[in-house]
Each structure stands twice: as C-alpha cells, then as structure tokens.
Amino acid sequence: MNITIDLVRKDEKEILRNLLEKYLYEFSQYEKTDVNSLGLYGYNYLDHYWTEDRRYPCFIKAENKLAGFAMVNDYPEVKIKADYTMSEFFILFKYRNSGIGKYAADYLFDKYKGKWQLKYHPKNTVSEKFWLHVVDDYTRGKYELLKDNPQAAYADGTLGNILIFDTPYIS
C-alpha cells in the first residue's frame, strides 16, 4: 500500500478543519465536550499552524486518499523540555488496524528528530494501546511514561498520560 505524509497547504486548511471535526466528535466521548452554537466543536489553534513557526499539520494518505492527519508542534504538554509534541493524530476508521497509523507515526518521528512528548487520554484505551506499542517499538523500550499527570489534565478533569522519548539525531 502506498502511504504518504504531506504538509497541509494553507489552501487545504478547510479539508483539515473538516477532518478535525470528525476527530473531535470521536474524542468527545472521553472529554464530554459539547458542540458550539453552530453545531461544531472547533479547533482554536488551527490558524496558528500557518502563522507560527514549528507547527506542522500533515495529511496522511493511503493510495492517494485521505486516511487521517497528524499535527506536530513544539508546545510541551508538561514542564519538561521537548522539541516536538504530537498535538493531534487521527486515522479514519476504514484505515485503522492496517499499519497506516504506525507508519505515519514512525515517519514523523524520523522526520522531526529530537525529544518528544505525546499525551493520550487514559479512557481512550485504543489510543493507549496504539501509542504504547508504537513508541515501545520505535524506541526499543527507551521511553518514560508519566501516568495521571496533573499538568496534562483534559477538559473532563481526567489526568492525561504522557510518553517522553528521544528520536535518534542524524549525525
């Protein structure tokens, strides 16, 4: 299967906004968030991905069809130095359990070398299983897990879990 990860161009922002709504709808089961008066969840930082440095919105495609997205930035989830954070990551249902998500995550870790933070909601057990597997495999077990971190609380009050790891630097 041909999998590609490409930066989202500014003229493709509305496509990403549409995918974000699907992602936020799915995530609302964990955070118990409501839609706004327009019936949308909204993503407050979307425009920042084209106005600030070190924000990388990416489409994940399989056979040239949208399969998901990833959003990488340099805003740490907790007060530990980090070069990159996986702020959002979403694979459409049709493409889950196909290896696309792992391929995309590995690709992004390879592309953006440095110290990473990755937050996940502990009630999202599918995400937890995915990220623990992906990061364990990628780092060969060399990562730190900060469970129930008060600096990483979600809107529903649940304390988030944070994975901290390094990707190898190119010398």
Structural domains in the chain, CATH included, are 3-166 (3.40.630.30)
The per-residue pLDDT for 169 is 56
Please give the model's pTM, rounded to 2 decimal places.
0.94
Residues 129, 88, 55, CA angle at the centre, nearest 5°?
140
Q: What are 61's two structure tokens?
A: 């495609």
Q: What is the pLDDT of residues 82-97, one digit of tens each?
A: 999 999 999 999 999 9
Q: What is the pLDDT of residues 98-151, one digit of tens each?
A: 999 999 999 999 999 999 999 999 999 999 999 999 999 999 999 999 999 999
How many whole angstroms separate alpha carbon 135 and alpha carbon 165? 8
Q: Where do the H-state alpha helices sit in 6-142? A: 13-31, 100-111, 125-139
Q: What is the pLDDT of residues 25-69, one digit of tens each?
A: 999 999 999 999 999 999 999 999 999 999 999 999 999 999 999
Mean pLDDT, the chain, integer: 95
